Amino acid sequence: MLGQAVAAAATRLHHEVLAPSGAELDVTDPAAVREDLAAFAPAAIINCAAWTDVDGAESHEAEALAVNGEGAGTVARAAAAFGARIVHVSTDYVFDGAAREPYAEDHPVAPVGAYGRTKPSGEQAVAAAAEDHAIVRTAWLFGAGGRNFVDTILGLAAERDELEVVADQVGSPTWTGHLAPALVEVAERRDTGILHAAGAGRCSWYELAVEAIDRAGLLCRVVPTTAARFPRPAPRPAFSVLGRTRKESPVLPPWQEGLAGHLAAKVPTGAGGKA
């Protein structure tokens, strides 16, 4: 989902782009990574490869760590060897959700689940491997080309008269259409360290669902509920709003604008409907 958006954004900005899929390049294979980089000789790498199955990571933490931790380090070491800048994508799930104010870039990490534990390992591996690096944490991604909360909710709302959606988890929804060009910009610069980039503002999953259904013009009642009513294999942070205290951290538009952009992109040219 994010990788496709990044490749499209970089191409629009007139960069020459190599964007292998996971099937084409295994980031846990150092020899394959070095071979690809040697052939392409990139000036910068934006690493969007990740194990993103949060619930699956609970029972497959070693496999998730191989991609999110060791794989991140493999890509960063190869980047450093070839003199390429590395931009690594991380997550709000590195935090425990106990805060009540947005998390700053330097706030101590304290993940509550297996997926969250694998991501700081990747951050540390990248920082140790490459001097010219940026680690960009983002949150609650949605966009074309992959499974995401917004599209799932819209699909359910088209089939049902009522939905229950969790209202006691709060975060920063982020459209890949806004994040992708920001990542390309970070790759073009020389700012290093940890940066935060997420849709401006905050909301609960319930509020995001209400806004998406309303903007899509669907008739479905949304009922707020609690995370305890819908237990999942992996715990989620109750509060994972990302703050921006470094001037180098990209400023993204409000999450509502991202939602509008995503829905507009889903409507074929000339079609009606709210967007």
CATH H-level superfamily of 2-266: NAD(P)-binding Rossmann-like Domain (3.40.50.720)
For residue 273, pLDDT over 80 is answered with no
Burial 57-67 (b: 16+ CB within 10 A, else e): bbeebeebbbb
CA atoms within 13 A on the CB side of 214: 8
Among residues 45, 178, 193, 77, which one has the least CA distance to residue 133? 193
pLDDT of 271? 38
For residue 178, pLDDT over 90 is answered with yes
* pLDDT, tens digit (0-9, with 9 covering 90-100), for 18-71: 999 988 999 999 999 999 999 999 999 999 999 999 999 999 999 999 999 999
* Confidence class for position 272, pLDDT limits 50, 70, 90: very low
Residue ranges per structural domain of the chain = 2-266
pLDDT of 274? 33
**% of the chain exceeding 70 in pLDDT:** 97
* pLDDT, tens digit (0-9, with 9 covering 90-100), for 222-245: 999 999 998 999 999 999 999 999
For residue 268, pLDDT over 90 is answered with no
Catalytic annotation, pick one of 93, 103, 115, 206: 115
The arithmetic mean of pLDDT across residues 192-204, rounded, is 98
* pLDDT, tens digit (0-9, with 9 covering 90-100), for 107-147: 999 999 999 999 999 999 999 999 999 999 999 999 999 99
pLDDT of 266? 82
Counting beta carbons within 10 angstroms of the beta carbon of residue 270, is it exposed (0 to 12), middle (13 to 18) or buried (19 or more)?
Answer: exposed
Mean pLDDT of the chain: 95
For residue 76, pLDDT over 50 is answered with yes
103 a catalytic residue: no
Start-to-end Cα distance in the chain: 21
